[in-house]
Amino acid sequence: MKKILDLITAEVTKAFTLCGYHEKYGKVTLSNRPDLCEYQCNGAMAAAKEYKKAPFLIADEIAAKLSGSRMLSSAESVKPGFLNLKLDPAYLADYLQEMKRDPERFGCEKAENPRLIMLDYGGPNVAKPLHVGHLRSAIIGESIKRIGRFMGHTMIGDVHLGDWGLQMGLIITELKERKPELCYFDAEYEGEYPKEAPFTISELEEIYPTASAKSKEDASYKEAAMQATYELQHGRKGYQALLSHILNVSVTDLKRNYENLNVSFDLWKGESDAQPYIPDMVQKMKEDGYAYISEGALVVDVREETDTKEIPPCMILKSDGASLYNTTDLATLVWRMQEYHPNEIIYIVDKRQELYFTQVFRCAKKTKIVGDDTKLKFLGFGTMNGKDGKPFKTREGGIMRLEHLLSEINEEMYRKIADNHTMNESEARETAKIVALSAVKYGDLSNQASKDYIFDIDRFTSFEGNTGPYILYTIVRIKSILAKYQALGKDTKAAKILPARAESEKALMLELTGFSAAMETAFSEAAPHKVCAYLYGLANALNHFYHETKILAEEDEAVQAGYICLLELTKDVLESCIDVLGFSAPERM
């Protein structure tokens, strides 16, 4: 089903061509003066130049040509040359009825050319608890994944675990200090390794920071960790067995945490999965003449003539021959291309890594790891700051664990819900969890991803203003009315949406027509905040309408059924929007 703006644009364009002007001037946009009109066309002003004619004369002609339109109830030419348009209420009602016939997509068409898009979440490290720094990539990535799927694309999310490098050596070293008798440390050991991991997740979470601290103070400890890392990476069996234990324990815990966020990944690949691809990749880079030795390290030049700053070469191997982050990311691209050959890969990572990814992308393109038909996109997000405007910390100044943050918000939400309503304990807990998630996610996603933002629990959990809970409240309120209507023994099977009589009703209807456009731009700009903006506008329009209209008390059955149809559509659209944002609404709250 065509978007309303396209339909109106077609109508206005027709008028332009009939009057002898170029079709490019017929573009219609949403009005930025809602007090004057619903839609506007500024083409007459642009055309004035080409046709050497006063803009208002052109606008007058077009307005006259549009006067008989079934689609528009009014088209008037104003001052310098604006064309102000209003949609015909009957046409609008028909359009909405059409949307309602499609309760999954509301007429939003899927992409003509579906693409295969992979998402890289820049991965959490295994053996380290998730902290607030991981929140944004998870939330934003999940939403972009959902928006993409809604638009008909194939989206594959890869968590891209940090499971390689010195941190693993540190853990092994510390474990060896504590339990030297374990068979994993016996180089001569030939038997099977135990299936059960020799540690629990909470031990693991404690081991890493301990080891990390020790290595900073004790040079020989660090030496041992580096040695262990080297041996692990060069095939020492006992260490590899330990690695898989660490992975298992860690991933289980990570999955549980991500589930609480309603975030999931299709692939649980890690840096270690890329390692087998490194030797051939490096070999090929050398053979093809891209890689050379500079200051002892193997690098690939990635400068371009248009650069305004110095872009350092992309380092492939350190001077000691070891691989590093770049190597792993490039090798990851090798297997992604081999196995999936995606049209696009989007990296959802901290924006501070922009320069780094510029290097990697250029290197991947230059060395033909990634061909011209695959787009590499860097989607950098800003820092989540506390109320003081500085990076979010616990009250003690430490790094806030994600779990703690969530439970703090759950508590806050529970308090609010339990205060106001007579719900039993378990329902209140369950509801609090749902609403709390909306608070966190909406609070994050309503900002442009690339900007830093202030994480303010009080504001995000408020039921007033531009917040998740406000959106949910609106949905719950509609549900309540619909339930009451049904309880009266009525239904809307034979009913349809009627032309609006009141301003607030028409405003709501117009808002509803914007659904497809909102989804499309949110996808093309990878901007979930556009969905939030649409959602908030729609919720506001609904509340305004609701406030002025008595629905259950309406005596005219057909009119009442029409209202109910409109509410049903609004509720479905609202719920589709929060679904792509990655949260849901409770039955009551």
Residues 101-160 that bind RNA (CB under 7 A): 125
Distance CA 261, CA 195 (A): 30
Contact call for residue 295 and RNA (CB under 7 A) = yes
Question: What x-and-dash track marks residues 308-327 binding RNA by CB under 7 A?
Answer: xxx-xx-x--xxx-x-xx--
Residue from the set 420, 491, 502, 524 that interacts with RNA by CB under 7 A: 420
Report CA dihedral (23, 29, 33, 37) to the nearest 10 degrees: 70
**Of 267 and 564, which CB lies nearer to RNA in the complex structure?**
564
**Of 69 and 447, which CB lies nearer to RNA in the complex structure?**
447
Contact call for residue 564 and RNA (CB under 7 A) = no
Residue from the set 404, 552, 557, 558 that interacts with RNA by CB under 7 A: 552
Contact call for residue 536 and RNA (CB under 7 A) = yes
For residue 579, the minimal CB distance to RNA (Å) is: 19
For residue 23, the minimal CB distance to RNA (Å) is: 15
Contact call for residue 418 and RNA (CB under 7 A) = no
Contact call for residue 549 and RNA (CB under 7 A) = yes
Q: What is the DSSP string of 533-565?
A: HHHHHHHHHHHHHHHH--STT---HHHHHHHHH
For residue 43, the minimal CB distance to RNA (Å) is: 9
Under 8 Å CB-to-CB from 573, ≥6 apart: which residues?
106, 512, 515, 538
Contact call for residue 581 and RNA (CB under 7 A) = no
Angle at 273 between CA 270 and CA 275, to 5 degrees: 120
Q: Which among 15, 132, 154 is positioned nearest to 440, based on CA atoms?
A: 132
Distance CA 227, CA 233 (A): 10
Contact call for residue 466 and RNA (CB under 7 A) = yes
Tokens 């002007």 sit on residue: 21
Residue from the set 21, 258, 442, 470 that interacts with RNA by CB under 7 A: 470
Contact call for residue 465 and RNA (CB under 7 A) = yes
Sign of CA dihedral 256, 258, 260, 262: negative
Tokens 């170029």 sit on residue: 22
Q: Which range touches RNA (CB under 7 A), out of 4-12, 370-378, 403-411, 451-459?
A: 451-459
Under 8 Å CB-to-CB from 474, ≥6 apart: which residues?
539, 542, 543, 574
Residue 366 structure tokens: 């230059």
What backbone phi and psi angles, to 5 degrees, belong to 390?
-110, 160
Contact call for residue 447 and RNA (CB under 7 A) = yes
For residue 404, the minimal CB distance to RNA (Å) is: 22
**Of 119 and 413, which CB lies nearer to RNA in the complex structure?**
413
Contact call for residue 399 and RNA (CB under 7 A) = no
Residue from the set 59, 75, 376, 476 that interacts with RNA by CB under 7 A: 476
**Of 154 and 543, which CB lies nearer to RNA in the complex structure?**
543
Mapping DSSP to helix (H, G, I), strand (E, B) and coil, where does residue 132 land? helix
Contact call for residue 292 and RNA (CB under 7 A) = no
Residue from the set 20, 35, 287, 396 that interacts with RNA by CB under 7 A: 35
Contact call for residue 500 and RNA (CB under 7 A) = no
For residue 253, the minimal CB distance to RNA (Å) is: 19
Sign of CA dihedral 110, 113, 118, 121: negative
Question: What x-and-dash track marks residues 173-192 binding RNA by CB under 7 A?
Answer: --------------------
Alpha helices in 19-88 (DSSP H): 43-51, 55-66
**Element (DSSP H or E) covering residue 316:** strand 314-317
Question: What x-and-dash track marks residues 46-65 binding RNA by CB under 7 A?
Answer: x--x----------------
392-401 in b/e burial notation, b at 16+ Cβ within 10 A?
beeeeeeebb
Distance CA 104, CA 272 (A): 40
For residue 196, the minimal CB distance to RNA (Å) is: 28
Q: How big is the site for RNA, counted in residues (CB under 7 A)?
A: 90
Question: What x-and-dash track marks residues 328-347 binding RNA by CB under 7 A?
Answer: --------------------
